[in-house]
Amino acid sequence: MYAITIAEDRSLHWTPVPDPVVKPGEVLIDVRAAALNRADLMQRAGQYPPPPGWPEWMGLEVAGFVLQAPAGGRWRPGDKVCALLGGGGYAQKVAVPMGMVAPVPEGLSFEEAAAAPEAFATSYLNLCMEGGLKSGDTAFIQAGASGLGVAAIQLAKAIGAKVVTTIGSDEKAALVGSLGADVIINHKRDNVVDMLARHPPDVAMDCVAGPELGNYLETAANGCRWIVIATLGGPTTTVNMNAFFRRGVKLIGSTLRSRSSEMKAQILAGLEKEYWPAFASGKLRSIVYKTLPITQAQQAHAILERNENLGKVVLSVSAAGSACRPAAR
């Protein structure tokens, strides 16, 4: 089969790789679409290796057809599925523990379905399981127009929370507003601390962190759960511990990728049971900004690097077919 591999100069190429070895309890998927995540950019830069046992090529979520499945299990060859991965999604085939596979939500294309598992599972893990978000709470979501942000906003609104989010352009403000965001902060021109002080968060899902995190924490509501899932703004800050402990603020570090396959299966099962039907009703949407052939993975990465995307960027594997072009430029 073919997959996107990383050359020594960090360029991306569509090259032959060994077929997956399917272990007991795994499902083999004929990949039709794979969605991008910022973790892919980190892996390409050599900063975020895949967990042990997963392929070395990138890709944390896919959709496609089942090719092979354990006898007597839930899945059958030909089923339309999407899946969470520890890696290996930028390929024609991938083997996945069967608990990390879910049906394509009703009414979604493969491209839309590929854009759902990682973003919605990350949101469910952090807002619901780590944060305990409930109706009437205020949720603060950084980078609201990102692929993760658009999922988190929708999930928080489905729960009944008030959503405060950051964006960097009027175009992105329009998108998050259409998804139900209640308070939209343009971090390039608004004072984020002042805005948060007016709308103290009960739960925060923060992919930015950075030097301003300490100031943001001083605005948190009593008992706030502030969950840091990435440090796109930088890894260090200064915290006023008096303000921090007196209000019982909990600062939580969380990633989905490092969780065990068993934990990811639990997350996906909860997400499917509680929220998959909302895709069919239109209450939840998979927001795809752009779809490119997988042979254009490098251009797709450039979209994320420029922070251009409103929603998810997706690679179409079926568009590559069996032509197997040698390079992704």
- Residue 325: its pLDDT value, please? 35
- What φ, ψ does residue 68 adopt, rounded to 5°? -150, 140
Q: Are residue 68 and residue 145 in the same domain, yes or no?
A: no
Mean per-residue pLDDT, 211-220: 96
Q: For residue 321, is pLDDT > 80?
A: no
326, part of any domain: no
Q: Which of 199, 234, 253 is the last residue of a domain?
A: 253
Beta strands 203-206; 225-228: pairing state: parallel
Q: Kindly state the tokens that stand for 120.
A: 């919605």
Confirm whether 325 is domain-assigned: no
Q: What is the pLDDT of residue 318?
A: 80
How far CA 295 is from CA of 4, 57, 254, in Å, comes to 8, 14, 32
Q: Are residues 13 and 108 in the same domain?
A: yes
- In sequence order, what are the beta bridge partners of 206? 228
Q: Quick one: average pLDDT of 235-246?
A: 91
Mean pLDDT to the nearest integer, 104-131:
96
Instruction: Count the neighbouring beta carbons within 10 Å of the beta carbon of residue 196.
Output: 24
> For residue 174, what is the domain's CATH number?
3.40.50.720
Please check whether residues 152 and 244 belong to one and the same domain. Answer: yes
Instruction: Give me the pLDDT at residue 179, please.
Output: 97
* Whether the Cβ atoms of residue 88 and residue 50 lie closer than 8 Å to each other: yes
CA distance 114 to 101: 11
Helical axes 170-178 vs 147-159, angle rounded to 10°: 30
Asked which of 253, 272, 287 is the last residue of a domain, the reply is 253
Q: What is the CATH number of the domain that holds 77?
A: 3.90.180.10
For the segment 122-166, what is each residue's pLDDT rounded down to a tens digit? 999 999 999 999 999 999 999 999 999 999 999 999 999 999 999
Classify residue 56: in a domain, yes or no.
Answer: yes
What pLDDT does residue 320 have?
62
**Per-residue pLDDT reduced to its tens digit, 245-279:** 999 999 999 999 889 889 999 999 999 999 999 99
Tokens representing residue 193 in the block: 């601390």
What domain range includes position 281? 2-116+259-316
Contacts of range 258-264, beta carbons closer than 8 Å, 24 or more positions apart: 258/51, 259/125, 261/86, 261/97, 261/99, 261/100, 262/99, 264/84, 264/99, 264/100, 264/121
As a dihedral over the C-alpha atoms of residue 102, residue 104, residue 110, residue 111, rounded to 10 degrees, the angle is: -80
- DSSP-assigned letters across all residues of 84-104: E-SS--SBSEEEEEGGGEEEP
pLDDT at 257: 83
- Spell out the residues 6+ positions from residue 89 whose beta carbon is closer than 8 angstroms to its own: 31, 34, 35, 58, 59, 60, 61, 62
- Do residues 15 and 92 make contact, with C-beta atoms less than 8 angstroms apart? no
**Claim to verify: residue 135 and residue 239 sit in the same structural domain:** yes
Give Rg (Cα) of the chain: 20
Total domains in the chain come to: 2
| pLDDT at residue 329, as a whole number | 34
156 with 83, same domain: the answer is no
Q: Answer yes or no: do 16 and 134 share one domain.
A: no
Residues 77 and 195 grouped into a single domain: no
pLDDT band at 322; cut points 50, 70, 90: very low
Give the predicted TM-score (pTM) of the model. 0.91
Of 199, 227, 253, which closes a domain?
253
Report yes or no on 235 lying in a domain: yes
Instruction: Take residue 76 and report the two structure tokens written for it.
Output: 């059958």
Is residue 323, in this structure, part of any structural domain at all? no
Q: Looking at the structure, do residues 128 and 85 belong to the same domain, yes or no? A: no
CA–CA gap between residue 283 and residue 286 (Å, rounded): 10
Flag whether 329 is in a domain. no
Same domain, residue pair 52 and 97? yes
In the predicted structure, residue 61 carries a pLDDT above the cut 70: yes
Q: Are residues 40 and 150 in the same domain?
A: no
Pair 128, 106 in one domain: no
CA distance 134 to 186: 26
The two structure tokens encoding residue 146: 């990102």
Q: What is the pLDDT of residue 146?
A: 93
Q: What is the mean pLDDT of residues 219-240?
A: 96
Task: Give the 3-state secondary structure of residue 62.
Answer: strand
Q: Is residue 60 part of a domain?
A: yes
Same domain, 234 and 276: no
71 domain residue, yes or no: yes
